[in-house]
Amino acid sequence: MQMKTHKLIYLLAGVLVLGASIPSNAQPQNNSLVAKPTASAVSNQTKTQRPPTKTATISVEGEKTEVTLKLYEHSSPQFSTYFVENYFLPESVSSDEGTGVRFFVNTGGIKKEDAYVHFFFPARATSLGNLKKFVNGRRGLLATNGWQVVNRTRNVPYRWAKERIGFQQRQGNETILGHVYLGEYKGKAFYAIAHYPAEYGDGFGPRANLIFQNLQFKG
């Protein structure tokens, strides 16, 4: 009986020591806690927000011209860019094959169907190698449109672009010029096109360049 009493005393003492080692203000753990962003993270989020409009200066026929750019945002895929507000009209179309976004030249309230910047994002993720086959194949993008390749280069000023293919085409008395850009973002390939009549070149080129230059992806 005396031995049992001693064991009970030791046990109670151990409980008291254990209880003393736990801070009085300790809170129960919660595995579902959501971490709050740090000050630097909030700052970075703010920096990535793009203003709805901004200005840029382009050179047209040797003269500097200031233009107003409007932000374009697309939800799926998530990307954004800027376009000259009084020069382009953006339109997007989605299908089982993928998503296309075109910026048509729209001056004087008239949409020019043969002057545009076009992005196409395949619905199914494809590699850059497969995209090249699609563009360059016998029944590919270039062949089916009747575009004659005039040059190719991998020296492209846009970070997302891996190759640029220059082309031309005769339509009646008109010459069509353009470029196909093979792009890639996080392993997913896509293409972009600049397509315009030769007579549009001086004004179209610098404005189309702003769309390509300002392209950014999210996620």
Neighbouring CB atoms inside 10 A of 39's CB total 7
pLDDT of residue 48: 63
Question: In a 3-state reduction of DSSP, which class is residue 86?
Answer: coil
Q: Give the whole-angstrom CA distance, residue 20 versus residue 6.
A: 21
| E strand or H helix at 49 | none
Mean pLDDT, consecutive 10-residue stretches, the chain (219 aa), reads 43 38 39 38 52 96 94 95 97 96 95 97 93 95 97 97 97 95 96 97 94 94
* CATH hierarchy code of domain 87-217: 3.40.1000.10
pLDDT of residue 11: 37
- Where are the domains positioned within the chain? 87-217
pLDDT of residue 2: 45
